[in-house]
Chain A
């Protein structure tokens, strides 16, 4: 009995350590892009690899289950870090790509186009020589709609140029300075 329990414990420890080891992110892999928040319809994936390893890159949209369908998550809700009350399904956006990195510095980059605002996730697995996953790195990003607001552009010069009145003042200054 004691031997059975001991054996079971050892097996559990091995499995647990494998799980922990596989779930730890690889220090040689960094997801540079996307950042936590992006805007527009396109998503840039940029992964820095600093060792001659094999990686496999996945891209998903995290969709919310409503009834029997899955819909994009509202960016305003997605920005809330606590999504535990939402049922999320990861929908793959591309065929996973495997890259054999040679050298001690390499960048994997890819652009995904025509995406909707929502929540996205990039996963990068590190594979050993047998193709087994030894670690993975995740990054989530919230895609906001492309900003069409030009009023903030004018605000950049607001302290310097208060509209037509400042334009006239500048004109008068430059005339009398000349």
Chain B
């Protein structure tokens, strides 16, 4: 019926079909995909996936930009307003020209006197190592700069236009960078003029308004359009596919030798080895990844460690919000850490929404520890918000009266957090509390919520009193909560 060579051909075809069927069955056995989600592209890895990672410059931005307009008047602006930070970066790039720059140490009194002139100061929320700052912003070589350890703020004053001024808060040092002439800073005079000619929000120092010494500035009258914003937690523990995919970014595609534990309170834990690597996902909260420190590795500098942190977050969860408004990350604080075998950095990232910082009551948006050249700790508590609708502007509660109304509450919080005082009377209490205020800003407060219904960002005054952040409703000054920065 069939000739032998036909039979051989049939056998060959059957063998090929069986081979491919075997491969498919093995795939289904190992990957356990849903049948309707089967795609060849998932088997063959895609090498051209684009991951958005912010640059070092994009996450290193001033926390506040304060202009002294003279006559006791100030204004505080976002660093993007009038392109203020980029204008200063351009000045930095060509400051000193070919003649060079010389650094000298000045006293606190000299610094305060020169800042009383028309000036603009860019303040960071942490001290950036000076070498990293120079490299990041292409500063020309500065003679004598080895005495500058970190940059907490950098400023220009019209009282000394050939200079720039640095404050190293970590070491309580004040420095002057001197160029040959004042040509390099003319654009900053123009910036000050534009600010003054525009519609700025007048600020005064606390001392000027209440009769004390505090030089912290606050707005006289603030008009704001901030309103309550509903948010959702980035990671929903009920979405098992997404959770698995997230875990795979830490442990590999196959999750070989990885145990999965689901606790009664809803936590999902992935564990490799004897807690060598642990990923914990908490409902309505975030994730925490820990890895045991390995043997001594290569120590990397600040910028390289920050680069490692940015890339790690980019490949483990990503930087983009998945829907709605974009949340812009920035470095909120940096500290040195030390393990048994390595040294490194802890980076805390905050999130900005429409140029306003979001403050979490009891945790942070992203915390990442880079020890040596490896990430050993990563916590992520990101949120998603819908696009912000434009709302009508209204007057915020007077900042100075927000303090006047709440100074006793602030005093009680300080006592609860271990501060001790010897106070005689309300007047002295107010003076002590108001003198401890380091910054006041408007922003969003994210309370530590229990229920999904309460998930709202609340417009707030954020008052930093020493190391305590206190939050007050922006429009009625009622206390909302507080955070001890040292213990959180």
Stretch of B48-56, B205-213, B276-284, B329-337 on the interface side: B205-213
The 8 A CB mask of B146-159 against A (1 = contact, 0 = none) is 10000000000111
**Contact assessment for B210 and A103 in the assembled complex, using a CB-CB cutoff below 8 Å:** no
Q: Which residues of A contact B210 (CB under 8 A)?
A: 32, 46, 48, 107
- Tell me which of A46, A103, A106, A157 has the highest count of chain B C-beta atoms within 10 A of its own C-beta: A157
**Residue interface bits B401-427, CB-to-A below 8 A is 1, else 0:** 100110100000000000000000011
Given known contacts A33-B209, A38-B72, A107-B401, is B106 in contact with A157 (CB within 8 Å)? yes
Does A167 lie within 8 Å of B102, measured CB to CB?
yes
A41 to B71, CA, bound (A): 8
What's the nearest-Cβ distance from chain A to residue B398, in Å? 7
Which one, B104, B158, B161, B430, contacts A170 given CB within 8 A?
A: B104
Tell me which residues from 371 to 425 in chain B have a Cβ below 8 Å from any Cβ of chain A. Answer: 398, 400-401, 404-405, 407
Choose the segment among A83-91, A119-127, A146-154 that binds chain B (4+ C-beta atoms closer than 8 Å).
A146-154
In the complex the two chains form, is B114's CB within 8 Å of A156's CB?
yes
Number of residues of chain A lying within 8 A (CB) of chain B = 37
**How many Å lie between the Cα of A106 and that of B402 in the bound state?**
9
A30 within 8 A of B: yes
Evaluate contact between A48 and B211: CB separation under 8 angstroms.
yes
- Is residue B204 within 8 Å, beta carbon to beta carbon, of the partner chain? yes
Q: Which of B104, B209, B398 contacts A161 (CB 8 A)?
A: B104
Whether A161 pairs with B211 at a CB distance below 8 angstroms is: no
Give the residues in chain A near B202, CB-CB below 8 Å: 111
> Hey, what's the 0/1 contact readout for A70-106 against B, CB within 8 Å counting as 1?
0000000000000000000000000000000001111
Residues 89-124 of chain B, each 1 if its beta carbon lies under 8 Å from chain A, else 0: 000000000001011101000100110010000000
A174/B178 contact (C-beta < 8 A), A30-B211, A32-B209, A42-B71 known: no
CB neighbours of A105 from chain B (8 A): 404-405, 407, 426, 430
Residue B33 CB within 8 A of the other chain: no
A39, A105, A173 pick with most chain B CB within 10 angstroms: A105
B79 within 8 A of A: no
The answer on a CB contact under 8 Å between B102 and A157 is no
Q: How far is the CA of A35 from the CA of B71 in the complex (A)?
A: 12
Cα A161 to Cα B426 with chains together (Å)? 46
Contact A33 B71 (CB under 8 A): no
B160 within 8 A of A: yes
Q: Please name the residue on chain A nearest to B110 by beta carbon.
A: A156
Residue picked from B72, B114, B427, most chain A C-beta under 10 Å: B72
CB neighbours of B64 from chain A (8 A): none
In the complex, what residues of B have CB within 8 A of residue A12's CB?
none
Is B236 at the interface (CB under 8 A from chain A)?
no
Query: Please, how many angstroms separate the alpha-carbon atoms of A107 and B158 in the complex?
Result: 32
Interface majority SS on A: helix, strand, loop or mixed? mixed
Contact B159 A46 (CB under 8 A): no
Tell me if A109 and B400 are in contact (CB < 8 A): yes
Residues of B within 8 A of A171 (CB): 100, 102, 143
| B318 CB within 8 Å of chain A | no
Summed over the interface, the residue pairs from A and B with CB atoms below 8 Å come to a total of 102
Within 8 A of A (CB), among B147-182: 157-161, 176, 178, 180
A5 to B365, CA, bound (A): 83
A160 contacts the other chain (CB 8 A)? yes
Cβ-defined contact, B209 with A46, below 8 A: yes
Contact status A160-B104, CB under 8 Å: yes
Tell me which residues across on chain A come within 8 A of B72, comparing CB atoms.
38, 40, 44
Q: Taking CB as reference atom, which chain B residue is nearest A159?
A: B110
User: Is B364 in the interface zone, CB < 8 Å from A?
Assistant: no
Residue A4, interface by CB 8 Å: no
Q: Report A-chain residues with C-beta under 8 Å of the C-beta of B288.
A: none
Q: Is B117 within 8 A of A153, CB to CB?
A: yes
Pair B220/A157 contact, Cβ less than 8 Å: no
User: Residues of A contacting B157 with CB < 8 Å?
Assistant: 153
Interface residue? A175 (CB, 8 A): yes
Inter-chain CA distance A46–B430, complex, in Å, is 16
CA distance A156 to B117 in the complex (A): 12
User: B87 an interface residue at 8 Å Cβ cutoff?
Assistant: no
The 0/1 profile, CB within 8 Å of B marked 1, for residues 137-178 of chain A is 000000000110010111011001100000100110111011
Contact with B along A39-74 (1 / 0, CB 8 A): 111101010101000000000000000000000000
User: Nearest Cβ distance between residue A94 and chain B, in whole angstroms?
Assistant: 15
Which of the residues B158, B204, B401 comes within 8 Å of A150, measured between beta carbons? Answer: B158
Question: Across the interface, do A157 and B160 meet the contact criterion of CB distance under 8 Å?
Answer: yes
28 A-B pairs (CB sep. < 8 Å): A30-B211, A32-B211, A33-B208, A40-B70, A40-B72, A46-B209, A46-B210, A50-B427, A104-B426, A105-B404, A106-B401, A107-B210, A107-B398, A107-B400, A109-B220, A147-B70, A150-B159, A150-B161, A152-B159, A153-B157, A156-B110, A156-B159, A156-B160, A157-B110, A160-B106, A171-B102, A171-B143, A175-B143
Interface residues of A (CB under 8 A from B): 30, 32-33, 38-42, 44, 46, 48, 50, 103-107, 109, 111, 146-147, 150, 152-154, 156-157, 160-161, 167, 170-171, 173-175, 177-178
